[in-house]
């Protein structure tokens, strides 16, 4: 269970980026955060694993507040929270399997991590996850040789090997072609059910959000304006969310 209570953040004084954001997410739920560019979607997502330090509120993962954690505790929380990026953020020169194994670093001693010493079990798990995302034949290829969709699936495997409770996806399909985008969204949706995950994705594509998400959170100018089941998202709400009639652009 992830509970966010009255989250606040401002980058400049008197210009709040987030104001009083509160929502709950149950395990096994695929959540889409939608809203115009600059509304604060990325700020919310990155506050959830404290890559951005927010100014106030509570972020409770199974009842423990991530915000008050010290450095060592924060490492332990972060390894339970996977993250998938728009630009994949892989080490392009390393092989696919090395990038997947990076997801284990949070569990290793500093020295073992520095030298990249992984256990047999970890390597086997990496291979089985690559099989799951359909890349078992690419394990020893350099990531720079992969297509965008393949890179994103490596990114997803990297987050899964963390044994996460939560996966945060920052615009996971914004750089992908439509077919790869469908593919990645379906994968995320399936994994959410299979592993009983909380999967939170920032999306610009409202049709994708409607199609795949269980719950939709709408953000406008740093305020939460919508937090309901996906089928409750109406044209009226989209109008207030985006300040204009964009329903025509759907389909």
Partner 1 sequence: MQSPVKYLSRKGWHQTAIIAIIGGIYVFGSWILNFDNLNGLLAIPKAFAWLGVNFRPNANTMEYLPRILQKLIQTVLLAIASTVVAAIISIFVALLGSKVTGINGFVQTIVRGIASFFRNIPLVAWSMILLFSFKQSDFTGFLALLLMSIGYLIRAFMEIIEDEASETMLALKATGASYFQVIFQAVLPQILPSILSWILYMIENNVRDATLVGILTGTGIGFIFDIYYKSFRFDAAGMTVLAIIFVVIALEIISNQIRKVIL
Site for partner 1 in 38-67 (CB under 8 A): 49, 51
Between 35 and 103, CB nearer to partner 1:
103
- Contacts of partner 1 in 123-152 (CB under 8 A): none
> Applying CB under 8 A, what is the total number of residues that bind partner 1?
35
| Residue from 2, 31, 44, 78 binding partner 1 (CB under 8 A) | 78
Query: Is 81 near partner 1 (CB under 8 A)?
Result: yes
List own/partner pairs for 118-123 with CB under 8 A and 24 or more apart: 122/161, 123/97
Name residues contacting partner 1, limited to 89-118 (CB under 8 A): 89-94, 102-103, 105-108, 110, 113-116
Does residue 79 interact with partner 1 by CB under 8 A?
Answer: yes
Q: In this structure, how many other beta carbons lie within 10 angstroms of the beta carbon of residue 26?
A: 12
Nearest distance from C-beta of residue 111 to partner 1, angstroms: 8
Could you tell me the smallest distance in angstroms from the CB atom of residue 166 to partner 1?
A: 11
Q: C-beta of 143: minimal distance to partner 1 in Å?
A: 10
CB of 86 to partner 1, least distance (A): 10
Q: Of 81 and 241, which has the nearer Cβ to partner 1?
A: 81
Rounded to a whole number of angstroms, the minimum distance from the CB of residue 93 to partner 1 is: 5
**Which residues here bind partner 1, judged by CB under 8 A?**
49, 51, 74-79, 81-83, 85, 87, 89-94, 102-103, 105-108, 110, 113-116, 155, 158-159, 162, 168
């Amino acid at each position: 269970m992830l509970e966010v209570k009255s989250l606040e953040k401002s980058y400049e004084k008197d210009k709040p980026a987030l104001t009083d954001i509160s929502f709950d997410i149950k395990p096994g739920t695929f959540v889409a955060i939608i809203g115009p560019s600059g509304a604060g979607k990325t700020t919310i997502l990155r506050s959830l694993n404290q890559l951005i330090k927010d100014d106030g509120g509570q972020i409770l993962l199974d009842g423990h507040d991530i915000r008050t954690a010290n450095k060592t505790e924060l490492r332990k929380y972060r390894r339970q929270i996977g993250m998938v990026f728009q630009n994949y953020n892989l080490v392009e020169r390393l092989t696919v399997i090395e990038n997947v194994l990076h997801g284990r670093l949070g569990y290793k001693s500093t020295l073992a991590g520095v030298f990249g010493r992984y256990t047999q079990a970890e390597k086997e798990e990496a291979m089985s996850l690559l099989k799951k995302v359909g890349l078992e034949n690419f394990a020893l290829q350099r990531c720079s040789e992969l297509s965008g969709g393949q890179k994103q699936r490596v990114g997803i495997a990297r987050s899964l090997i963390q044994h996460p409770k939560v996966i945060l996806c920052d615009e996971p399909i914004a750089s992908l072609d439509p077919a790869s985008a469908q593919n990645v969204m379906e994968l995320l949706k399936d994994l959410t059910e299979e592993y009983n995950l909380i999967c939170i994705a920032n999306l610009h594509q409202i049709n994708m959000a409607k199609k795949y998400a269980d719950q939709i959170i709408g953000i406008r100018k740093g305020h939460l304006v919508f937090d309901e089941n996906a089928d409750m998202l109406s044209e009226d709400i989209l109008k207030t969310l985006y300040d204009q009639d964009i329903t025509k652009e759907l389909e």
